[in-house]
Amino acid sequence: MSQTSRPATESSLKGVEGAQADVARAALKAAFGARPIDGISPVAGGNTTALVLKVQVGGRSYLLRVEGEPSPLRNPHQYESMRIAAETGIAPKILHLDEAARVVVMDFVEPRPLLGYPGGLHGLAHGLGELLQRLQASPVFPHFVDYPDIVGRLFAHVRRTSLFAAGLLDIHAEHLKRVRQTYNEGLERLVSSHNDFHPGNLLFDGQRLWLVDWESAYRNDPMVDLATLIDSFAFSPEIEGIMVKTWLGDAPDEAFCRRLATVRALTRLYYAGVFLSGSAASQTRTAPDTDLSVPTLEGFKKSVRDRELGANSPETIHTLGKMYLASFLSGDNVPGFRAVRNGAAMRRCLIASFAEAAQQKASWK
């Protein structure tokens, strides 16, 4: 045993106190028994209240995650969905999972740049399409909520925040009604879905892709993950076509394209709600926004590139939200998630968006 090693049962977990530390110690004991712990270090990228640690044992690395305070939107099926995904080889292998204690210990994946994927963007598009195909062919996840309902509730929350002048979002509310009227046309089945399928939740280990962060996973429309994946990467039409054809197994027909456009409208409104809820929670705006105009895609990218808009800044988040609002109506392309550099920022926006709902004891059942 090295000087820094210690049995799991005696791990000090420096800087961690209270219930999370107790849960972490119990999880380490269950996963590793009396084997020595060679090192424990915090992992950046968790949400604001979760405890996420990299644990080194016997020359290998593992991830320990203790869930923090449950949000009002907490998905009660996340651990069951994660377990299924791990058993099918889509998520990292699980060593220990205690749903009651809300803790999991799993293999740690050392990430490499996604653009290093074999075959470049073409290879990555194939890999993403195949990963999504495997996910949706896995044993079905439990059902949580109908997707249009969660989109509608999130958008209703944005309208209650007074982030925008009264009446400014009425046109979006009317368009949402029209989208919901046609949504079920062509929906044949629900499948296992990640429901937050963006670059921040994908890991490339140098050989293959892994999906992580299963907090939003439940049974859903198969096109929701596809639409989110397309928009979050903001691929060229050629690369997008490769990914869609790989997932579908054939070239898409007109009916498929029409339904994908409907689902993309909903996913764009959903992420508009995520971004704008984060903007409202930042409390940096002194008056309601009266202007829905947005920059062009190139103009936005240039502002981020020139650091006129900072990554994860409230102004960037607000601008992204407005761009997703605009694309909900127009169908125009969106800039993707590159200005929000990690999944943690996305989750912070989502958690903040339901603070008001928590105070009102809103039900999500």
Same domain as 173, residue 284? yes
Residue 310: give its domain's CATH number: 3.90.1200.10
The whole model's pTM is what?
Answer: 0.87
Which residue has tokens 């603070």?
355
Residue 34: give its domain's CATH number: 3.30.200.20
Alpha carbons within 13 angstroms on the beta-carbon side of residue 154 total 28
For residue 12, the SS3 value is coil
Same domain as 147, residue 268? yes
Q: Which of 282, 348, 335 is nearest to 313 (CA)?
A: 282
What residues make up the domain containing 97?
6-107
**Which of 52, 75, 107 is the C-terminal boundary of a domain?**
107
Q: How many CB atoms lie within 10 A of CB 119?
A: 10
Same domain as 273, residue 161? yes
* Residuewise pLDDT in 10s, the chain (365 residues): 333 444 544 444 666 677 888 999 999 999 999 999 999 999 876 445 788 999 999 999 999 999 987 776 789 999 999 999 999 999 999 999 999 999 999 999 999 999 899 999 999 999 999 999 999 999 999 999 999 999 999 999 999 999 999 999 999 999 999 999 999 999 999 999 999 999 989 999 999 999 999 999 999 999 999 999 999 887 889 999 999 999 999 999 999 999 999 999 999 999 999 999 989 988 888 999 999 999 998 998 888 888 888 777 889 899 999 999 999 999 999 987 765 544 444 444 444 444 433 333 344 33
- Specify the number of domains making up the chain: 2
Domain membership of residue 1 (yes or no) is no
The two three-digit tokens of residue 225, written as one number: 């993950």
Q: How many CB atoms lie within 10 A of CB 165?
A: 13
Same domain as 291, residue 257? yes
Same domain as 129, residue 49? no
Domain membership of residue 364 (yes or no) is no
